[in-house]
């Protein structure tokens, strides 16, 4: 499902114009990105959490050049689904 599919589905279910729904969806995504970039997690009860995970500093190898590089500590965005979300997906497995 794409962002356009989500906009169409919400518009169809609510009767709100697609343009308004699209602006709302994009504003939501921007808000989540801004919050995570400021190291603030986003919690949506019953859906899940958008969180910032810390990755520790580590040593990696470039096999083709036979060299080692150090990857510094960094943060990555992650999504942790709510228990109700996980259980609904598990019951729909075919």
Q: Tally DSSP H helices, then E strands, for the chain.
A: 3, 5
Q: Average model confidence (pLDDT) for the chain? A: 93
Of the candidates 78, 10, 88, the residue with the CA atom closest to the CA atom of residue 46: 88
Sign of the alpha-carbon torsion through 35, 38, 43, 49: positive
Tokens of 27: 């504003």
Confidence of residue 21 (pLDDT cuts 50, 70, 90): very high
Q: Mean per-residue pLDDT for 45-59? A: 95
Residue 62 is predicted with a pLDDT of 87
Question: Are the beta carbons of 18 and 43 closer than 8 angstroms?
Answer: no
pLDDT at 76: 95
Q: Which residue has the higher pLDDT, 37 or 62?
A: 37
pLDDT at 70: 92
* Predicted local distance difference test score (pLDDT) of residue 94: 61
Contact assessment for residue 43 and residue 49, using Cβ atoms and an 8 Å cutoff: yes
């Amino acid at each position: 499902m794409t962002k356009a599919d989500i906009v169409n589905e919400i518009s169809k279910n609510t009767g709100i114009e697609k343009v308004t729904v699209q602006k709302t969806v994009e504003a939501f995504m921007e808000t989540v990105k801004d919050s995570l970039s400021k190291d603030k997690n986003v919690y949506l009860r019953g859906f899940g959490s958008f969180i910032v995970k810390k990755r520790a500093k580590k040593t990696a190898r470039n096999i083709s050049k036979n060299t080692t590089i150090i990857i510094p500590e960094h943060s990555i965005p992650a999504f942790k689904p709510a228990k109700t979300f996980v259980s609904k997906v598990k019951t729909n497995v075919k």
